Structure 1
């Protein structure tokens, strides 16, 4: 089922809550510029295995409200904390993809991992995001021809072949975001760093990353593995930035094994 959670006056986040009676809960935080719908091929599988799956659209993206302000790691982490509190979640596995991985890292450090027993970082945009050159190009294109920018992101996202209809679906997901929020996250990825957060993550952490990732280099996953205590890194040999789809069976099985 889907519903909205109020995170501040005038701002409501959309939450997709599948199998609320599940024995163990997984909270998914999507990547930029997408929505919870990117995890469709996890939501197809995991609830049927008995897991409760919660997908949260960040402010500015998907079905959530799209305010002008609030696009920094602290505010985005605060939004997740509010959802966790309102839903009274505890002992959850927090899964973050790309920028969602960065938000998850800030959540863990800012709130001492409140309610989270395990962390999964998927192609995380951390400890740094975009280079200034990449960010400035994305920013220019977003403010002048956002559909073209999203198409370019789609074209570099996957290592494996994607069909035309799949590319169209992915493209439309990106267009669902607001232009201003899309641009604000580019600035965030350019300007904010997460080095100081990594030492504060104390829960078991699974790091998965496509070795062919053209968006966030695999070397960053290796750095996260070195800096985060009690972490393990699993390379995905046949994936780019979208291993949640490209090697979905492997990812889904690995996730269930990690959660236990």
Structure 2
């Protein structure tokens, strides 16, 4: 397996395919998954001559099951360690959900020349949880429910999410993929329960407002209009107003996991943005 050691000694697993002198595209997965969630996109861009990289966030997939450092500052620092180790320059960073938050924080702080463009898909920024400053956010009790369900029966919880709202399989007339549900469960159960528990706070309570305002490279926001996990009104519709050079593209009827259910639509849009 290909791994690096981060600054605090954590082992991160990564995949790095394609010509090492080609432009890198770096994929950042959502909670509680792994780099395998991007297999379709990695193969698609590999065939088009790009270098494609995906890592398993600490505590997820094949990386160390950390009990500390499961927060956005550390996640972004880990990406910086990966970029230095693989000498990733002029890279396009694509993040889904929690991974979108990771991309935003990393891109806002990255060394000059490391990041060329960024894509946030169904991403959590600017902030999910409701507060006095974000009164129309999601109540904290919802995320407390996530934590309780994870503790009570993580295996069942990780079955219910993809079988229901994640891919929109709970909608009338949805074409349900049992393989996609099983693959979500497989990825989730490979990670560590403590890291997954901590990450709920990281993705729901982190405020990315200053990160979005600080990013200078072009950013594409992609969001399904029927996203039941990260509702578009509280995320992309707010995030686009904070970006200096942002573009928002939404998809009627599509879910939180739209890049997995509809790669034939999303992949060409990603390619067009990267080539623009």
TM range (shorter): over 0.9
* CA shift digits 1:47-82 (9 cap, x unpaired): 011111100110000111112100111111000000
Partner of 1:172: 186
Partner of 1:141: 149
Aligned mates of 1:166, 1:94 — CA distance in 2:
24
Alignment of 1:37-52 (within 5 A): 37-52=36-51
Cα distance, 1:113–1:139 mapped onto 2, change above 3 Å: farther
Alignment of 1:1-260 (within 5 A): 2-21=1-20, 23-111=22-110, 115-130=114-129, 131=138, 132-154=140-162, 155-159=164-168, 160-219=174-233, 220-260=235-275
Is the contact made by 1:7 and 1:79 (CA closer than 8 Å) also made in structure 2?
yes
Is the contact made by 1:107 and 1:113 (CA closer than 8 Å) also made in structure 2?
no
The farther-off stretch of 75-84 and 140-149 is: 140-149
Aligned mates of 1:105, 1:113 — CA distance in 2:
15
Aligned mates of 2:153, 2:112 — CA distance in 1:
38
Tell me the secondary structure at the aligned position of residue 152 of structure 2.
Answer: helix
Aligned mates of 2:4, 2:101 — CA distance in 1:
22
The farther-off stretch of 246-255 and 82-91 is: 246-255
| Structure 2 segments unaligned to the other structure (5+ residues) | 130-137, 169-173
| Structure 1 segments unaligned to the other structure (5+ residues) | none
Is the contact made by 1:101 and 1:123 (CA closer than 8 Å) also made in structure 2?
yes
* CA shift digits 1:153-192 (9 cap, x unpaired): 2121012523222211211111111100110001223332
Is the contact made by 1:102 and 1:194 (CA closer than 8 Å) also made in structure 2?
yes
Aligned mates of 1:235, 1:121 — CA distance in 2:
12
The farther-off stretch of 179-188 and 147-156 is: 147-156
Is the contact made by 1:22 and 1:50 (CA closer than 8 Å) also made in structure 2?
no
Aligned mates of 1:9, 1:190 — CA distance in 2:
24
Is the contact made by 1:135 and 1:189 (CA closer than 8 Å) also made in structure 2?
no
Aligned mates of 1:67, 1:43 — CA distance in 2:
26
* Deviation, structure 1 residue 146: 0.7
Is the contact made by 1:236 and 1:247 (CA closer than 8 Å) also made in structure 2?
no
* CA shift digits 1:165-223 (9 cap, x unpaired): 22112111111111001100012233321112211011001100011100001111111
* Deviation, structure 1 residue 8: 3.1
Tell me the secondary structure at the aligned position of residue 129 of structure 1.
Answer: coil
